[in-house]
Amino acid sequence: MRYELLGPLRVSNGRESHLLSAPKMETTLAVLLVGAGRVTTKNSLVLELWGDRPPRRAAAAIHVYISQLRKFLAAAAADPAGIDPAGIDPAGIDPAGIDPAGIDPADIIVTKPSGYLLRLDGASFDVTEFQDAMRDGRAQQAAGSYAAALSAAERALSLVRGPVLAESAAEGPVLTAFAAWAEEERLAALELSVEARTALGRHREVISLLGALTAQYPLRESFYSQLMLVLYRAGRQAEALAVYRGAQQVLRAELGLEPCRSLRRLHDAILTRDRLLDLPTAS
């Protein structure tokens, strides 16, 4: 069983992937996945699904969504060919609620007094894999193992398939916060990848990428810093200084602020051709 939340929500058993076409059910499963291994309260689900204007029978509606999700997940684990994408009456679920493979739907989403708990129980989850890859990449980078850091960063980036619930209109606090976290971590993975490539002397590979990133994220100073450094190491000092001036103009116009201290220090180091900017010893 595999869950994927870093993009359109998908569930698979290693042979086929399945999407939920019912938006409320998709939102419910996404919230449970964000809190996997912990209890998601009924109040949290109500807020996520309907905001501050829930229907009169919100609790009953959630009960139906959970019931259908249990059937959907049990069928996904057992027989990928017999699943209705909306999770309604999937093939392979017997009247007692136990599918032919012996999977009890209640073991996947457990009812608790205050809400529901989704148990991964050995299932793979792209969010966990992403976090593991980033943890490994940062550790490898700190140890000076830049090739290993690059491999880990690329592994993390390969897990991101697009914006979280890209086609969903979900705007609740849990999924909004999760989507913001996922985007921030994606950018951090890009930064880690660029840092590793730069440390390995592969400057020209990232110059065009960083040019696009500074245009797309004009207030993210780390991308300016990386672009300045790779231009300098590629022997393009004047262009590196021009990037600083461009960043300075944007930050002044948009935020009324000067570049951060680290960006100013890098600018000064490039001006004086500080030897500390030379390539570190890579492994």
Percent of the chain past pLDDT 90, that is, above it, reads 73
Q: What is the DSSP string of 189-203?
A: HHHHHHHHHHHTT-H
Structure token digits, residue 232: 């300098």
- 2-125 with 203-283: one CATH topology? no
Structure token digits, residue 203: 């400057």
Is the CATH number 1.10.1060.10 carried by domain 2-125?
Answer: no
For residue 115, the SS3 value is: strand
What is the structure's pLDDT at 89?
Answer: 40
Count, residues in the chain: 283
The answer on pLDDT for 102 being more than 60 is no
Is the CATH number 3.40.50.720 carried by domain 203-283?
Answer: no
The answer on pLDDT for 158 being more than 50 is yes
Task: Enumerate long-range contacts of 259-267, CB under 8 Å, 24 or more apart.
Answer: 259/221, 259/224, 260/221, 262/221, 262/225, 263/221, 263/224, 263/225, 263/228, 266/225, 266/228, 266/229, 267/228, 267/241
What is the structure's pLDDT at 92?
Answer: 37
Pairing state between β 124-125 and 2-4: parallel
Alpha-carbon torsion angle 158, 161, 164, 165, nearest 10: -150
Annotated domain spans of the chain: 2-125, 203-283
The answer on pLDDT for 66 being more than 60 is yes
- Among 40-44, 98-102, 253-257, the range scoring the smallest mean pLDDT is 98-102
Percent of the chain past pLDDT 70, that is, above it, reads 87
Is residue 118 within a helix (H) or strand (E), and if so which, with residue range?
A: strand 115-118
- Does residue 252 or residue 100 have the better pLDDT? 252
The answer on pLDDT for 145 being more than 70 is yes
Q: Could you give the C-alpha distances from 44 to 27, 28, 59, 141, 238, in angstroms and in order?
A: 12, 10, 11, 38, 54
What residues have CB less than 8 Å from 279, skipping those under 6 apart? 199, 201, 233
What is the structure's pLDDT at 83?
Answer: 47
- Residue 20 burial (CB count, 10 A): 25
- Report the side by side order of strands in the sheet with 115-118: 39-41, 115-118, 109-112
> From CA 32, how far away is CA 127, in angstroms rounded?
13
Greatest mean pLDDT among 7-16, 80-89, 185-194 lies in 185-194
What residues have CB less than 8 Å from 95, skipping those under 6 apart? none
pLDDT tens profile 10-25: 998 877 888 888 999 9
What is the structure's pLDDT at 97?
Answer: 41
pTM: 0.85
